[in-house]
Each structure stands twice: as C-alpha cells, then as structure tokens.
Amino acid sequence: MTIEKTKDDNILKRLLHSQMIIPLAALLALVVFNLIADPSFFAITINQDSTGNSVLAGQLISILNNGSELAILAIGMTLVTAATGGQDISVGATIAVAGSAMLAVLCGGNMRPDTLAAPIIVAFLFGVVVAMVCGAFNGVMVAVFKVQPMVATLILYTAGRSIAAWINNNALPIIPADSGFGVFGGFIPGVPIPTPVFIAIACFVVIFLVLKFTSLGLYVQSVGINEKAARLNGLNPTFIKWLTFVILGVCVAVAALIKVSRISTINYQTIAADIEMDAILAVALGGNALSGGKFNMGSSILGAYVIQFLTTTLYKFNVASAALPAYKAVVVIILVVLSASIVRAKLSAIWKKIRSPKQAEVEAVK
Amino acid sequence: MATLKLKKSEGAGKRAITDTNLLLTITIVVFAVMYIGAMLFLGRGFLRWQTFFNILNTNASLIITAIGLSIVMICGSIDISVGGVVGLVTMCCAVNLDYQGGSPVTALAIALGIGLAFGLVQGFLVAYLEIQPFIVTLAGMFFARGLTTIIHAEPFNVANEAFLALKDTRITIPFLGSVNNSGNFTAAYMEIGVAVALVLVVLAFVMLRWTSLGRSFYALGGNRQSALMLGINTKRSLFLAHVISGLLAGIAGYVYIMHSASGAVTNADGMEMNAIAASIIGGTMLSGGVGNIIGTFFGVLSLGTIQNIVSSAGFTDAWWAKITVAAMICLFLVIQSIVLARKKQTE
C-alpha cells in the first residue's frame, strides 16, 4: 500500500515539476471552459467539401489544421530562443517574402497563369532558399555582429512585407484552382484529414530524429546556458547561433507553403500577421526560459496548439479578429505572472503555511 | 615629464570620445550629410524652412515616444507597447471629444490616465515581478490594440470645435521662412505638439544628465549588479523608467490626435518600431547604459528626412520608405557593434 502511494506521489511530483505542466494546465483549463460553455465544441462531423470529398470537420480539426504553421514555427523559434536567449520577430514578414517568392516562380511573370510555370517542388525549394537567406542574414547580425536578436530581426520585420510586395511588383498573383497547388493547405483527394496536419507531423518527426541522433540539441543548450564555457569546450557558438536562425528559415518556408497554398494567392500586409507573437508565446507557454538555455521541444509544440485552441475558442464566442489580441494579452499576463519565479516562491510559501498544521498532524499519527 | 604629459593627453583624448559622444556625433553627421545632400540634389522643397518644420510637425508624437523608449532602453529594458498605447489614446480621446461631449482638458486627462496606467502596470510586472520586459510590453501592445477596436472599430474625424481650434493653433517663427513663387515672404510655422515635444526633449535631457534618478538609469543599464552595490534602488529605477515611458506614450497619443484629429484603429501603426529605430539611430545602445536624448531627437529627424527624400526622389511606392528605414537600422546596428567590439579590444 505504502509503496504504491509513494509511486503515485512520484508520478504526480514528476508531472508537477516537468515543463509540460504549464501548457497541459492551460489546455485543461480551456477544455473545461469549453465543456461547460458549449459541449458541441468537441463535435466532429463528416462534411462534403466543394470537390465532393468527404472530409472531417469540427472545431478540434480546425485547431489541428490551423495550428500547423504555428507549431512548425515553434520548432525553429524554440531553437533560436534556446541558443541566443532572444526571439526572432521577423517570421511573419519572412513568411510573406518566402510566399511571394514561391508565387513568383509558380506564375513566371504572368499574374493570372492558366498553368503553373514551374513545378511546385522547384518553387518550394526556391522559397526555402529565400527564407534561409533571410534567416542567415538575421543569424549574421546576431551571431557575428552581436546585436540583440529582437532588434536584429526588427530590420526584416520592418522591411519584409515591403520586400514581399516588391518581388511581385505589388501585383497579386493568383494560382489556378486546378493546378494541384491547393493540396498543401487543403485536402489530398480521398483523405479526410487536412494536409497541413501531415506536414506538421512530418516536421515533428524530422526534428525529433535530429534531436535524438545528432548533438544539435546539446550544442544549442550549452551555447544558450553559457557561451564562454561552450567555446572553451570546443564548440563554435557563432556558428551554432547562426545555424538556429537558418533552421528557423526552413521552418518559415514550410509555413509559407501552407499559408500561400490555403488561399492560392497572397496578401502582403495580412499574411501570417502577428504570427511571430504567437510563436514566441508558444515557446513561453511551453515553459521554456525566454532568456535561453534548456528547452523542451515537445512542450513548445504543445504550447503552439494551446495558443491555437485559445484563438479558436475566442473566435467561437464571436470575438472579432481585431479584438482577439486584447483577450490573448490578458491570458498571457496571467500565465507569465503565475510562472514568474518570485510569485511562485511566494505562492509555495503560502501553500506551506496552509499545509504545515496538517502535515504536523500526519507526522504525529505516524 | 614628457611621458607624463603624453599620458595626460592620451587620457584626455579618450575622455573626449566616449561611446555616447561618438555615436551622437555619427548620428548628427549622418543627418547633416543627408539633409545637405537633399538640398543640393533635390533642391527646392528642401531649401524651404517649412519642409524642415513639416518633418517636425508630422513626427512630434514620434519624438515623444522615442524619448520614453530611449529612457527605457538606457535602463537595459524595452517597451514595445508605446505604439499600441498611442493608438488607444487617440481612439479614447476621439470618442470622448465627439460622443461624450468632452473638452480638450478631459481628453488630456484621459490621455495621461491611460499612459500612466500602462506605465504603472508594466513597470510593476517588469521591475518587481521580474518578468521579461519584452513579453510584458508585448502583451501590453496586444491589449492596447485589441481594446482600441473594442472601443470603436470605424475610423472617424473629430468635429469638436474647441479641440479643432487647439489643433489649428500655429506657432509661427517670424525670422525663419521663405519667399514663395509670387514673391511673398511666408514665415515657417510649427504646431503646438512640436513645442511640447521640444520641451520634453529638454526636460528628459536635463533629467538624464543632472538628476540622481537619471544617473541611476545609466548605472542600472550599464551593470545592474554594480548599480545595486552602489546602493541604487534598481527595482524602483526600472519601475520609474517604465512609468515615464507609459506617461510619455500617453502625451504622444494626445499630440498625435492634435496633428491628425481622427480616431482610427490604424493610428500609430508600427510606431513602436519607428521609435526603437529612432533610438538606435540616435546612438542608444540596446544593451543599456549608453544613450542620449539629443541623439534620439536627431534619430527621429533622420527617419523623417529619409522618408521625405525617398518620396521626393520619385520612389513613391510605399515599400521604399520601409526598406530604407530598415537599411538605416541595419547600418547603425553594425556601427554600434563595431564600436562595442573596439571598446572591448582596448579594455
């Protein structure tokens, strides 16, 4: 009996001490809130889409679907945060740049093409290269010129959407509907689950394998914890910091492919607007220190879906999309206040005070 | 004797070019070169005094927010909520003036109240709960932007007569002006907001240079641990820096609506980035401890000038202004980085 009890205690304690507890608690709170407010939130139905496919529909599916880009970005953002102790605020703008570049290749100068001017894979790879160049630029500013990440990425944050508009001469290229480009943001014929979910899962598998079988995670964490010590141990902090920005660039390109494919065109000013804030929040919500160092990738990804859960919940209660940030801000402030070390210390002191008479009783019985 | 003299002069030389002075000099030189270049190559418009004062008129609120941001940045912190607060203040003032029968005085009270409230809450969270300033003020920006749309989503023009009279009050400068095409001399003018901004620049300069609070900001940004050991109440200083920044954002909002006289959700969109850019161009170091309000003032002027140059040089497409601003930030960041690297080498 007693052994079982301690084991239970251990599992509970381990869960309480793990990073996952923050996003899990937030998720639980959201689920309970939705269950009380309107249980139909969790209903999943099978609908016919415009092409006659039967596809899954429902709020949960839309969370998984729309959260894909955010979760993919959260991967790169976690690495950048861990290695540099700063965040990249240019991801939304570079999504616009990469998306614009992909569309430019696909359309080949003609804004209303009947067929694609280049294979999708070529356009995608071009987008990847463009996004990696943007990432490399940020990386050079941060790693070589030692500029604070937030400020270094301010450059592309300011200029990114303008560059995106400039690539296509401010025209709006529209991809023909029957070209098959819409698959990446929609559904593969015959498959009821949205494609972005598969793309996101593929990204998770890749990063999981990379973290498992290479030393990337270890290197990133050691650079983030103590750059000098990492250098003395033979690592090259400049290169590793730069590398995390390039990896984030790849994530941006994948997210851009999904974003552009969803609407088969682009709006330079609104595509992926404010996504940088959500991505940073996902990392913070995942319990990762925004000042760098240790990270937990799974926790960040979970954090991304929790953010999307919150967004979808707010939409369901008819909150206008422009007013959304106000509610998100309140949630964020509550979260960061609760997870602040000073508040935690105070709370646990109060908790001990409340518990101490009881504990004394228990010990007396023993 | 000779060696002693040499050493002395070396020391004097070093003192003459501190980081602050060097960065400030670079900023002023760049601004002067840009403006004189524009006068030589683009001619007429830039030769008139009014063009210069128009840059001030449109950027008065930016000057005020940039002062607040520089102060916060000197402390080694950051406040990206200022754009959102300015937007919120303009909307609240506009609604108060037009729908609630407010007067310029009540609107000013609202502006100051909102700014102070944001400053107090953010300052408390950053300084006393030690939460990362970026996250706190990011949430502040989100909150302000969201609240603005909740208060009033449609853009509208303020029609309050007392306020419009205040808005149209002009301060003419009789000895500066230009002769127009028909040969009449027109004196240059500036709006009240510019006067407010200039007064605040002077106040902030005096505060940072000659008050113990101002010096504690530099100490705090330079090295927090040492500042603590010197007996400075670092938490209180950081708190006050954020309060000042919030309050200045409130004033900036009032100045903004005095210039535009409209309530719109898009008011002051991206202003936080321009304010950060102005501070960086003005030689404020993001790492804290280095900065100068005069530099910030010239930073705003440089931003305004380059936007003017880009549009009068025929690059009327909206994207060029942003791309040039970004290029300027990039240039000044690299300069700062080189200055820092050189300093480390000499140490």
Chain A contact residues (CB < 8 Å to B): 87, 141, 145-148, 150-152, 154-159, 161-163, 165-166, 170, 277, 280, 284, 290-291, 320, 322-330, 332-333, 336-337, 340-343
Band of pLDDT at residue A3, cut at 50, 70 and 90: very low
CA dihedral A93, A94, A95, A100 (to 10 degrees): 100
Q: How many CB pairs under 8 A join A and B?
A: 131
The residue with greater pLDDT, A16 or B137, is: B137
State residue B191 phi and psi, 5-degree precision.
-85, 165
Closest Cα in chain A, distance from residue B207 (Å): 26
Interface contact B319-A277, CB threshold 8 A: no
Which secondary-structure segment (H or E) carries B172? strand B170-179
- Nearest residue to B51 (alpha-carbon basis) of B39, B60, B62, B40: B39
Interface contact A336-B139, CB threshold 8 A: yes
The full set of domain ranges for chain A reads 2-45+56-318, 325-366
Check residue A12 and give its pLDDT: 66
Q: Does the pLDDT of residue B99 top 80, yes or no?
A: yes
Which of A144-153, A171-180, B243-252, B291-300 has the highest mean predicted lDDT (pLDDT)? B243-252
Region at A271 (left for phi over 0; alpha for psi -120 to 50; beta for the rest): beta
Interface contact B146-A324, CB threshold 8 A: yes
State residue B317 phi and psi, 5-degree precision.
-60, 140
Judged by average pLDDT, the poorest of A142-146, A154-158, B19-23, B68-72 is B19-23
CA dihedral B316, B80, A281, B77 (to 10 degrees): 140
Mean local confidence (pLDDT), A257-268: 89
pLDDT in tens, B134-177: 878 888 988 998 899 889 888 888 888 888 888 888 888 777 76
Burial B272-285 (b: 16+ CB within 10 A, else e): bbbbbbbbbbbbbb
Contact A207, A75 (CB under 8 A): yes
**Numbers of helices and strands, H then E, in chain B:** 15, 4
Check residue A246 and give its pLDDT: 96
Which CATH number, 3.40.5, 1.10.3470, 2.60.40, 3.30.1150, labels domain A2-45+56-318?
1.10.3470
Radius of gyration (C-alpha) of chain A in whole angstroms: 23
Q: How many domains does chain B have?
A: 1
Mean local confidence (pLDDT), B75-85: 91
pTM over 0.90: no
Tell me the chain A residues in contact with residue B344 when contact means C-beta distances shorter than 8 Å: none
A148, A155, A342 ranked by CB distance to B129: nearest: A342
Q: How many residues does chain A have?
A: 366
pLDDT in tens, B205-232: 999 999 999 999 999 998 888 999 988 9
Radius of gyration (C-alpha) of chain B in whole angstroms: 21
Q: Please give the full DSSP string across A209-233, using - where no structure is assigned.
A: HHHHHSSHHHHHHHHHH-HHHHHHT
**β strands within chain A, DSSP E:** 45-48, 54-57
At position B213, the amino acid (one-letter code) is: L
Residue that has been written with the tokens 């084991």 in this structure: A7
Q: Does the pLDDT of residue B10 top 50, yes or no?
A: no
Band of pLDDT at residue A16, cut at 50, 70 and 90: low
Which of A101-105, A334-338, B37-41 has the highest mean predicted lDDT (pLDDT)? A101-105
Structure tokens at B209: 């240079």
Check residue B180 and give its pLDDT: 67
> What span, in angstroms and rounded, lies between the C-alpha atoms of B77 and B4?
42
> What span, in angstroms and rounded, lies between the C-alpha atoms of B299 and B27?
7
Closest Cα in chain B, distance from residue A62 (Å): 23
Check residue B17 and give its pLDDT: 55
Q: Tell me which chain A residue has its CA closest to the CA of residue B152.
A: A323
Judged by average pLDDT, the poorest of A128-137, A149-158, B175-184, B310-319 is B175-184
Check residue A8 and give its pLDDT: 55
Residue B13 lies inside a defined structural domain of this protein: no
Residue B245 lies inside a defined structural domain of this protein: yes
Contact A192, A54 (CB under 8 A): yes
Residue B33 lies inside a defined structural domain of this protein: no
Check residue A211 and give its pLDDT: 93
What domain range includes position B262? 46-346
Judged by average pLDDT, the poorest of A344-358, B56-70, B76-90, B122-136 is A344-358
Q: Please give the full DSSP string across A334-354, using - where no structure is assigned.
A: HHHHHH-HHHHHHHHHHHHHH
Structure tokens at A222: 């050691």
A339-343: list long-range contacts, CB under 8 Å, 24+ apart: A339/A22, A339/A287, A340/B129, A340/B130, A340/B131, A341/B130, A342/B128, A342/B129, A342/B130, A343/B129
Q: Does the pLDDT of residue B345 top 80, yes or no?
A: no
A320-324: list long-range contacts, CB under 8 Å, 24+ apart: A320/B149, A320/B153, A322/B145, A322/B146, A322/B149, A322/B153, A322/B265, A323/B146, A323/B147, A323/B149, A323/B150, A324/B146
CA dihedral A221, B140, A331, A245 (to 10 degrees): -30
Q: Does the pLDDT of residue B127 top 90, yes or no?
A: yes
Check residue A358 and give its pLDDT: 61
User: In Å, how far are A181, B243, B311 from A338, measured between CA atoms?
Assistant: 44, 23, 48
Q: How many Å is the maximal CA-CA distance in chain A?
A: 84
Residue B340 lies inside a defined structural domain of this protein: yes
pLDDT in tens, B231-257: 899 999 999 999 999 999 999 999 999
Q: Looking at residue A118, what DSSP letter applies? A: S
Band of pLDDT at residue A245, cut at 50, 70 and 90: very high
CATH number for the domain spanning B267: value is: 1.10.3470
Interface contact A151-B320, CB threshold 8 A: no
Q: Does the pLDDT of residue A260 top 80, yes or no?
A: yes
Q: Tell me which chain B residue has its CA closest to the CA of residue A166.
A: B319
Burial of B106 (0-12, 13-18, 19+ CB in 10 A): middle
A151, A166, A322 ranked by CB distance to B286: nearest: A151
Check residue B1 and give its pLDDT: 39
Q: Does the pLDDT of residue B15 top 80, yes or no?
A: no
